[in-house]
């Protein structure tokens, strides 16, 4: 009992001031997340909007700023927002996935507060549970450099966020039902660009009455275009008719600058290009995102088309779209392109020292995991997806919170490091996670035994993409790793029948989600967590304490105070929602913790 009581009192004391990040500016956002009616492909449906907008607003902040987002859940189901690529250093409490946060109940609000510490670049946010991303709720995140840090290119004349993604006319609850019934989602109905359907480039392929995106530019300028694939499961080839795209950054790393006429952007990935408006503007130009790594002639409708319009444009775009890469029978072209994305070792990134001064090749690997994915199969009587034969069961009690409150049996730490270590047992549904060693250096090899493209993401970190190839990974594959200028990023593609190897330095304490970015595979269980604890963390120097506004659910639900629902509809009819100051909330949270300790003890 003493230990628990001490824990509660300590946590209450630690919760009192804001976390130690005073001095850096704050950016505040108020988001009302609700359904809005839209018909991006001509079929009316409920999509998830933020403050009535679909897609949501761009979060435009600068390195080391504190970001405070008050999220009001006006949906009819629980909600969590996650921040793809934001590292939440020492602070997985804000990560917005079920392993670290209780979902925000319908009608409640919850405030995220985190610092975008030592990061720059292009990221995005989205609702992380229950397939909600298939309905929207996403938006871009721009983290700018501080003025004192050099950027490896001249200041662009504009900054444009482009969200691309496959789209279904069925809503996310219907899609969920299909997966629950063991069905495949099948071919998407199209591709949206910034929430809009395709420009009518061909009357027989695109019906009339669909609203498309227009990107307005001036001639003779250079724009930074940030492209994010926020879709469900389709890899997309992105291209702009008549224009080179100079790749400069991906997910927080400056790349060596190279021109591409098109680039494959896989689900969950983000890239920045510099595009110079150096064409004669005889007419507008097509901006295309077309399905990749599928039979493209069958998947023709899965094509997004927007328009790049110069201010001196001579007229509408017409004629055929610019060709996708002609490599139907050459599976190496896309992979070679992926390999060509390299780190610019001399560029400064978020800090003054060159990003390449972190020499990953000089560090010895301390833990290695080979994670094998297979096509979804029947596991425990249901169609599920697995890694190393384990299909993750989403926790009712967030794993990190369970640790903080000594909840037993919330998870096991025995995730198999090899698929063959798992093969002895039949595939199963489990809540087994990876025991990461703090300050260790982990190698993760993703082996894709499925016949479709996958991409995998790790929260809390950027990893070095040191290798990828077709076939089965073997020990000797290590000889092919790029030991010099592998790019550091948070989402990587894994080609069917191929492997991708990444290295990650486990210096960020917390519980971090490793997941398939393909929504259906993720929903069906293809995720795991890496638990990184510092056993010598006496005073929470390497990890922040439980936030004072933490939500409690599952086995800890008894600590949760009721919140007056703030539903717009409810608020209209019911009395005005109770207002509470930050101070009173902290007191309430502290009392809650003490009460919790007593409950435990009794
Ligand atoms: C999704 O569509 C189904 C009908 O196909 C409808 O019953 C359901 O309410 C819709 N859900 C949402 C969130 O719009
Ligand atoms: C983002 O913020 C920066 C400075 O904080 C500003 O210069 C820039 O114009 C903003 N970008 C957008 C797209 O609003
Ligand atoms: C949401 O929570 C904050 C405190 O975190 C509170 O001040 C606010 O009134 C709440 N309600 C709404 C509708 O945002
Ligand atoms: C439109 O697409 C159809 C079907 O692919 C094709 O046959 C036709 O030639 C296209 N029309 C134009 C004007 O490109
Ligand atoms: C990229 O293409 C542009 C023209 O579109 C050209 O001006 C520039 O020199 C090229 N840059 C590189 C690094 O190839
Ligand atoms: C503009 O450029 C296009 C493509 O390079 C070319 O086909 C066209 O003739 C040019 N038009 C004029 C008026 O120069
Ligand atoms: C794609 O599908 C078409 C139509 O079914 C078929 O003729 C073609 O062979 C397929 N292409 C590939 C590369 O499988
Ligand atoms: C790498 O970054 C430096 C700035 O440190 C820049 O001058 C150089 O052009 C970049 N190199 C490439 C190949 O992009
Ligand atoms: C890495 O391991 C090798 C061989 O065990 C050892 O000689 C070397 O000192 C280690 N390097 C570091 C940085 O620990
Ligand atoms: C987890 O790893 C640590 C070393 O980082 C080790 O001390 C501990 O015993 C491991 N726990 C389990 C349950 O394997
Ligand atoms: C999957 O693994 C099996 C057994 O190792 C192998 O025969 C098959 O070729 C693999 N398929 C893919 C797509 O990797
Ligand atoms: C010594 C100390 O203050 N430890 C606390 C650190 O924060 C966790 C919660 O995140 C508490 O459980 C510890 O008691």
How much is the pLDDT for 536?
Answer: 86
Atom of ligand 5 nearest to the CA of 276: 5
- Regarding the beta carbon of 73 and ligand 3, being less than 6 Å apart is answered no
- Regarding the beta carbon of 364 and ligand 9, being less than 6 Å apart is answered yes
The answer to whether the beta carbons of residues 254 and 343 sit under 8 Å apart is yes
- Regarding the beta carbon of 440 and ligand 9, being less than 6 Å apart is answered no
How much is the pLDDT for 334?
Answer: 96
pLDDT tens digits, one per residue of 436-470: 999 999 999 999 999 999 999 999 999 999 999 99
The answer to whether the beta carbons of residues 193 and 303 sit under 8 Å apart is no
| Ligand 12 atom 2, closest CA | 539
Residue 4 φ/ψ, nearest 5 degrees:
-65, -40
- Regarding the beta carbon of 282 and ligand 6, being less than 6 Å apart is answered yes
- Helices within 342-406 (DSSP H only): 399-404
Task: Check whether 567 has a pLDDT greater than 70.
Answer: no
Q: How confident is the model at residue 276 (pLDDT cuts 50, 70, 90)?
A: very high
The answer to whether the beta carbons of residues 555 and 397 sit under 8 Å apart is yes
Looking at the chain, which residues constitute the CATH 2.60.40.420 domain(s)? 39-65+116-355, 358-533
| Ligand 7 atom 14, closest CA | 295
> How many Cα atoms are found within 13 Å in the side-chain-facing hemisphere of 310?
23
Residue 552: both structure tokens together: 């409690």
How much is the pLDDT for 592?
Answer: 33
- Regarding the beta carbon of 505 and ligand 5, being less than 6 Å apart is answered no
Q: How confident is the model at residue 134 (pLDDT cuts 50, 70, 90)?
A: very high
Check: pTM over 0.75? Answer yes or no: yes
Task: Check whether 247 has a pLDDT greater than 60.
Answer: yes
The answer to whether the beta carbons of residues 288 and 205 sit under 8 Å apart is no
Atom of ligand 11 nearest to the CA of 450: 13
Q: Give CA–CA dist 52/536, Å, rounded.
A: 47
Ranked by mean pLDDT, the top range of 1-10, 322-331, 504-513 is 504-513
- Rounded mean pLDDT, 356-382: 96
CATH number of 39-65+116-355: 2.60.40.420
Nearest in space to 553 (alpha carbons), one of 114, 9, 100, 111 = 100
Cβ neighbour number for residue 261 with a 10 Å cutoff: 14
Q: What is the DSSP string of 426-442?
A: --EEE-B-EEEETT-EE
Could you give the angle at the alpha carbon of 345 between the alpha carbons of 340 and 349, nearest 5°? 105
Ligand 12 center–CA 10 separation, angstroms: 7
Residue 351: both structure tokens together: 């800090």
- Which ligand is closest to the CA of 47, given by its number? 1
**Strands 454-458 and 510-516: what pairing?**
antiparallel
Between 3.90.1150.10, 3.40.640.10, 2.40.50.140, 2.60.40.420, what CATH number should domain 358-533 receive?
A: 2.60.40.420
Q: Long-range contacts of range 168-176, CB-CB < 8 Å, 24 or more positions apart?
A: 168/134, 168/232, 169/41, 169/43, 169/45, 170/45, 171/45, 171/46, 171/134, 171/135, 172/130, 172/131, 172/132, 172/133, 172/134, 172/135, 175/131, 175/134, 175/232, 176/130, 176/131, 176/523
Cβ contacts of residue 558 below 8 Å, gap of 6+? 552, 596, 599
Cβ contacts of residue 340 below 8 Å, gap of 6+? 258
Q: Give SS3 for 195.
A: coil
Ligand 9 center–CA 414 separation, angstroms: 27
Choose which residue among 120, 249, 257 to substitute to test ligand 8 binding: the one with the highest number of ligand atoms within 8 A of its C-beta.
257
- Rounded mean pLDDT, 389-395: 96
Atom of ligand 10 nearest to the CA of 533: 5
The answer to whether the beta carbons of residues 557 and 533 sit under 8 Å apart is no
Task: Check whether 22 has a pLDDT greater than 70.
Answer: no
- Regarding the beta carbon of 280 and ligand 6, being less than 6 Å apart is answered yes
Determine which helix (DSSP H) or strand (DSSP E) holds 10, and give its type and residue range.
helix 2-15
User: Which letter does DSSP use for residue 425 in this model?
Assistant: S
């Amino acid at each position: 009992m003493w230990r628990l009581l001490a824990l509660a009192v300590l946590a209450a004391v630690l919760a009192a001031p804001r976390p130690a990040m005073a001095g850096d500016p704050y950016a505040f956002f108020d988001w009302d997340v609700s359904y809005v009616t839209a018909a991006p492909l001509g079929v009316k449906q409920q999509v998830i909007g933020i403050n009535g907008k679909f897609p949501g607003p761009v979060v435009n902040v600068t390195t080391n700023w504190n970001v405070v987002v008050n999220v009001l859940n006006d949906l009819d189901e629980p909600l969590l927002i996650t921040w793809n690529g934001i590292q939440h250093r020492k602070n997985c409490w804000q990560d917005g996935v079920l392993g670290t946060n209780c979902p925000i109940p319908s009608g409640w609000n919850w405030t995220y507060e985190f610092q975008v510490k030592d990061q720059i670049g292009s990221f995005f946010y989205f609702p992380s549970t229950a397939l909600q991303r298939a309905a929207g709720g996403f938006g871009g995140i721009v983290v700018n450099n501080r003025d004192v840090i050099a950027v490896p290119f001249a200041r662009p004349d504009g900054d444009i966020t482009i969200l691309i993604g496959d789209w279904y006319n069925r809503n996310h609850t219907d899609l969920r039902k299909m997966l629950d019934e063991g069905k495949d989602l099948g071919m998407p109905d199209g591709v949206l660009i910034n929430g809009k359907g395709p420009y009518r480039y061909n009357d027989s392929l695109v019906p009339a009455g669909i609203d498309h995106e227009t990107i307005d530019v001036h001639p003779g300028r250079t724009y930074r275009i940030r492209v994010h694939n926020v879709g469900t499961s389709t890899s997309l080839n992105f291209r702009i008719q008549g224009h080179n795209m100079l790749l400069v950054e991906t997910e927080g790393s400056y790349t060596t600058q190279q021109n591409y006429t098109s680039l494959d952007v896989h689900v969950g990935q983000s890239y920045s290009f510099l595009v110079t408006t150096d064409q004669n503007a005889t007419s507008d130009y097509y901006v295309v995102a077309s399905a990749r790594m599928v039979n493209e002639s069958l998947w023709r409708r899965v094509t997004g088309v927007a328009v790049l319009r110069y201010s001196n444009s001579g007229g509408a775009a017409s004629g055929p779209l610019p060709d996708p890469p002609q490599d139907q029978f050459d599976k190496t072209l896309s992979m070679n392109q992926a390999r060509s994305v390299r780190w610019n070792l001399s560029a400064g990134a978020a800090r003054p020292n060159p990003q390449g001064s972190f020499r990953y090749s000089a560090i010895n690997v301390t833990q290695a995991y080979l994670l094998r994915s297979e096509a979804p199969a029947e596991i425990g009587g249901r169609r599920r997806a697995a890694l190393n034969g384990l299909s993750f069961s989403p926790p009712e009690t967030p794993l990190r919170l369970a640790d903080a409150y000594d909840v037993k049996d919330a998870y096991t730490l025995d995730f198999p490091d090899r698929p063959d270590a798992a093969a002895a047992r039949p595939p199963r549904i489990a809540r087994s996670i990876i025991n990461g060693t703090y300050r260790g250096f982990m190698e993760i090899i993703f082996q894709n035994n499925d016949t479709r493209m996958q991409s995998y993401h790790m929260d809390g970190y950027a990893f070095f993409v040191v290798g990828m190839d077709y076939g089965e990974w073997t020990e000797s594959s290590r000889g092919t790793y790029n030991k010099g200028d592998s790019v550091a990023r948070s989402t990587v593609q894994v080609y069917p029948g191929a492997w991708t190897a990444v290295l990650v330095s486990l210096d960020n304490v917390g519980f971090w989600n490793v997941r398939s970015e393909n929504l259906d595979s993720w929903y069906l269980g293809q995720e795991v967590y890496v638990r990184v604890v510092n056993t010598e963390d006496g005073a929470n120097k390497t990890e922040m304490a439980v936030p004072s506004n933490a939500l409690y659910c599952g086995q800890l639900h008894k600590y949760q105070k009721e919140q007056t629902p703030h539903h717009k509809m409810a608020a209209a009819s019911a009395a005005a929602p109770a207002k509470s100051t930050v101070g009173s909330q902290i007191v309430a949270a502290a009392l809650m913790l003490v009460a919790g300790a007593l409950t435990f003890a009794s």
